Amino acid sequence: MSTVQIPTFTARGGAGQEPEPNLTSMYVIHRAMLADLRRLTALLARPGSLGVARVAVLREYVSSLLVEIDHHHANEDDLLWPIIERTAGPAVDLNPFTDDHAMLEPLLNRCRRAVHGDPAALGTELAELLALLDEHIAEEESDLFPIVSRFVPHQAYAWVEKQVAKRATLKELTFTVPWLASYATKQELDGLLADAGAPFRVLLAVTRGRYARRVRLLFG
């Protein structure tokens, strides 16, 4: 449960009165999670092709990905959902999304346990995770994002993103930053880095090469 004090925000005004929240980071992280799960499940459908070095990278990579998925949904529960509830009021029902998050927790635990076991079993667990997130993310983007754009002020969503960044450790960011950069378009990445500031630009420059080498070894 979050210990962050949620500020009071009022619903944003109508079109043209104030800017909508910038949801670029949400779209990029959704894209990254689903794309990685798809290519990991495809890779693990033929586990006999994995050598020792590749399996070691696989375990490290999947562990990092599971942290991203876990933290993304915890941040929604702790930070974004309260903001949406306070600004959208009766216009939103978050129960379906909260229910999905409750289903996600035991599935993530099974995936974590499978990381260091049989690769084929890991593939089975990741396929189930993909099925859940594929449906959950589609519903979020089609049903919830329009509500966020309508009711949540730009500054309120920006506050959420700052809190998310504060929660991340440096170790986590060495994966998160190049991972998201690899799935963002140039325009998206330019905007994300402009908002994040110079430290994230430096971190991307430092970590991008190692991340790319891991991806090449793992996926070819």
Does an H or E element contain 129, and which? helix 119-139
To which residue do tokens 């997130």 refer? 133
**Radius of gyration (C-alpha) of the chain in whole angstroms:** 18
Inter-CA distances, 210 with 126, 177, 179, 217, Å? 24, 12, 11, 11
- For 10, the 3-state DSSP assignment is coil
For residue range 8-64, list pLDDT tens digits in order: 888 886 655 678 999 999 999 999 999 999 999 999 998 777 888 899 999 999 999
* Torsion from C-alpha of 54, 59, 64, 70, nearest 10 degrees: 140
pLDDT at residue number 1: 45
Rounded CA-CA distance 13/15 in Å is 7
This prediction's pTM: 0.93
Rounded CA-CA distance 27/35 in Å is 12
Question: What mean pLDDT value characterizes the chain?
Answer: 93
Rounded CA-CA distance 31/183 in Å is 7
Does an H or E element contain 75, and which? helix 52-75
Query: What token pair was written down for 185?
Result: 């378009």
For residue range 101-149, list pLDDT tens digits in order: 999 999 999 999 999 999 999 999 999 999 999 999 999 999 999 999 9
The arrangement of secondary structure in 24-219, i.e. its CATH architecture, is: Up-down Bundle (1.20)
> What is the average pLDDT across 153-182?
95
140: which DSSP letter? I
Burial of 185 from C-beta contacts in 10 A (0-12 / 13-18 / 19+) = exposed
> What is the average pLDDT across 175-197?
95
Judge whether residue 3 has pLDDT over 80. Answer: no
Rounded CA-CA distance 182/200 in Å is 14
Q: Which amino acid is at 131?
A: A
Inter-CA distances, 72 with 106, 177, 189, Å? 16, 14, 19
- Show Cβ contacts of residue 148 under 8 Å, excluding neighbours closer than 6 positions: 21, 23, 84, 88, 157
> What is the average pLDDT across 193-213?
95
Judge whether residue 77 has pLDDT over 50. Answer: yes
